[in-house]
Structure 1
Amino acid sequence: MTQRTFDTYEDFWPYYVAMHSRAATRWIHLTGTLSGLAVSAYGLFSGRRRYLLGLPLIGYGTAWPAHFLIEKNNPATFGHPAWSLRGDAQMIRMMLAGRDAELAEIAAKWLAENGRLSGG
């Protein structure tokens, strides 16, 4: 599949959310990212440097299988790593603020306009 390109993060954001169209995927991302952050924070404050790997290992280790198994797409990280990291942080902030339904609406709108595509 041809990789999608975007000129700005604002153009990328609805696509990123659409690649997380199912609530289960979003909640797995949230759980993995927050768990990874907790393990990394422990490593930082305890001086146990190996635990700093918690964020990338636990975060990606839980998120990527959700794309393959639940969404049936490729993680947007593969084609847009920096914007995907920013998108993940924005998505998690919105979820923690109780705005998951808004994310579902953004995803549904993008998919209705563009069709279901694999990540990229």
Structure 2
Amino acid sequence: MNNPSPKSSTSNTTPIKEGINGELIEVKAPVKQKFYDFYLDEHQNMACRRLHFAGSSFGLLGLAKAVKDRSAAPLVKGIAAGYACAWVGHFFFEKNKPASFKSPLKSFASDFRMYGDVLRGNLSLKDKSLDRVR
């Protein structure tokens, strides 16, 4: 028997899926998605998003240079620059505390998920009305 395909939802409510007998089933978002939704809510300001994108780029450049040079120093500098950019974005533009203070690992993973969404064009650095995530 074919697995039913999820039906799209037009609002930010829980997704709905059609069951085997045609009944509608509410699908709970996985924990990862719930945290990412929270993470995106904490990054509505475009200056904050841009600073996060720059900071993640600095971190990745530091990682690449560290591998190339076989030295940890560029990685440490890249991470420091990345967090500095992100925290400036939160404290001065978004006016909230970084999620990394409460959930550092989930926040770190979500930052790179957000970075990927920006690269794929799913999140805008110009206007949040252009976002295609959620």
Letter in 2 for 1:91: M
Which of 62, 68, 71 is the matching residue for 2:91?
A: 68
Q: RMSD between aligned alpha carbons? A: 2.5
> Does the alignment pair 1:16 with 2:39?
yes
Off by >4 Å, runs of 4+ in structure 1: none
| Bigger helix fraction | 1
The percent identity for this pair of structures is 29
| Bigger strand fraction | 2
d(CA) in 2 for partners of 1:94, 1:77: 19
Q: Unmatched 5+ residue regions in structure 2?
A: 1-29
Question: Based on CA coordinates, which of the two structures has the bigger radius of gyration?
Answer: 2
Q: Is the 8 A contact 2:51 2:86 kept in 1?
A: yes
TM-aligned CA deviation for residue 51 of structure 1: 1.1
Q: Which structure would you say has the larger RCO, counting Cα contacts within 8 Å and 6 or more residues apart?
A: 1
Which of 83, 101, 112 is the matching residue for 1:78?
A: 101
TM-score (norm 1): 0.74
TM-score (norm 2): 0.67
TM-aligned CA deviation for residue 47 of structure 1: 2.1
Q: Unmatched 5+ residue regions in structure 1?
A: 1-6, 108-120
Residue 104 (structure 1) aligns with: 128
d(CA) in 2 for partners of 1:44, 1:69: 33
